Amino acid sequence: LNQIEELRTAISGGEFHLRYQPQIDLASGRMVSIEALVRWDHPVKGLISPADFIPLAESSGLIVPLGDWVLQEACRQNKSWQDAGLAPLTVCVNVSARQFSDRTWVCRVKHALDLSGLDAGCLELELTESLLMQNMDQAIATMNDLRELGVRFAIDDFGTGYSNLSALKSFPVARLKIDKCFISNLASDDSDLGIVAAIISLGQNLRMKVIAEGVETGEQLEILRRNGCDEVQGFHFSRPVAPDVIGSMLAGHH
Ligand code: G
Ligand code: G
Ligand code: MN
Ligand code: NA
Q: Are 39 and 49 in contact (CB under 8 A)?
A: yes
Instruction: Find out whether the beta carbon of 128 lies less than 6 Å from any atom of ligand 1.
Output: no
Question: What was the pLDDT predicted at 164?
Answer: 82
Residue nearest to atom 10 of ligand 1 (CA): 51
pLDDT digits (tens, 9 = 90+) for 97-149: 999 999 999 999 999 999 999 999 999 999 999 999 999 999 999 999 999 99
Q: Tell me the mean pLDDT in the region 68-88.
A: 98
Question: What was the pLDDT predicted at 167?
Answer: 87
pLDDT digits (tens, 9 = 90+) for 21-59: 999 999 999 999 999 999 999 999 999 999 999 999 999
Atom of ligand 2 nearest to the CA of 19: 12
- Which ligand number lies closest to the CA of residue 214? 2
Phi, psi values for residue 124, rounded to 5° = -125, 135
pLDDT digits (tens, 9 = 90+) for 200-229: 999 999 999 999 999 999 999 999 999 999
* Residue that wins the pLDDT comparison between 1 and 208: 208
Q: Which residues line ligand 2 (CB under 6 A)?
A: 21, 37, 94, 156-157, 180, 213-216, 234-235, 240
Atom of ligand 2 nearest to the CA of 240: 12
Question: What was the pLDDT predicted at 163?
Answer: 74
The pLDDT confidence band at residue 90, using thresholds 50, 70 and 90, is: very high
**CA of 62 relative to ligand 1 center, distance in Å:** 15
- Which ligand number lies closest to the CA of residue 157? 4
**CA of 126 relative to ligand 3 center, distance in Å:** 6
**CA of 73 relative to ligand 1 center, distance in Å:** 15
Strands (E) in 105-203, as ranges, are 123-128, 152-158, 175-178
**Other beta carbons less than 10 A from residue 158's beta carbon:** 26
**CA of 56 relative to ligand 4 center, distance in Å:** 19
Q: Are 81 and 246 in contact (CB under 8 A)?
A: yes
230-244 in b/e form (b: 16+ CB < 10 A) is bbbbbeeebebbebe
Instruction: Find out whether the beta carbon of 49 lies less than 6 Å from any atom of ligand 1.
Output: yes
Question: What was the pLDDT predicted at 176?
Answer: 98
Atom of ligand 1 nearest to the CA of 37: 16
Q: Are 171 and 140 in contact (CB under 8 A)?
A: yes
ipTM: 0.96
pLDDT digits (tens, 9 = 90+) for 158-205: 999 877 888 899 999 999 999 999 999 999 999 999 999 999 999 999
All domains in the chain, ordered by first residue: 3-252 (3.20.20.450)
Question: What was the pLDDT predicted at 119?
Answer: 98
pTM for the full predicted model: 0.97
User: Alpha-carbon torsion 23, 27, 29, 33, what sign?
Assistant: negative
The pLDDT confidence band at residue 254, using thresholds 50, 70 and 90, is: very low
